[in-house]
Amino acid sequence: MTMRPYSLNITRIKCHSTNDYTGSDDLVGVMGPVRFPIGSFTPGNDYNLDIKQIVPAGEFYLNIIETDLSGDDEIGMIDLSAIMDFQTVKNVQGADASYDITILVQSVSD
């Protein structure tokens, strides 16, 4: 029996630094064809959230993207298959931004 990521719940995000030097980072999550808003953040923000998403079949990664008029910047990627069935904090860093993301990934058998 093979297990795969089925759903995710982002429960908290702490912003250490941002990609945008003027204004806030507007974060979105991307899993294959699914793109969903996470929120706007400035350094020091620490928010409790309740963002729930079904993981598309065949997808194993959550990409965290900062989006604005000048285009998308990839902040980081989380391997969902490595953190299934327990809540954990993952740090993602890229393009001068750094975030701690508290996430729970639930699995299902194929």
Report d(CA 97, CA 102) in Å as an integer.
16
Report d(CA 71, CA 20) in Å as an integer.
12
pTM for the model stands at: 0.93
pLDDT at res. 23: 80
Report d(CA 64, CA 38) in Å as an integer.
9
Instruction: Tell me the pLDDT tens digit for each residue of 34-91.
Output: 999 999 999 999 999 999 999 999 999 999 999 987 788 999 999 999 999 999 999 9
Contact present, 58 and 65 (Cβ < 8 Å) = no
pLDDT at res. 88: 96
pLDDT at res. 18: 92
Considering only CA atoms, which of 33, 79, 36, 84 is closest in space to residue 60? 79
Report d(CA 90, CA 99) in Å as an integer.
8
Buried b (16+ CB within 10 A) or exposed e, 20-40: beeebbbbbbbbeeeeeebbe
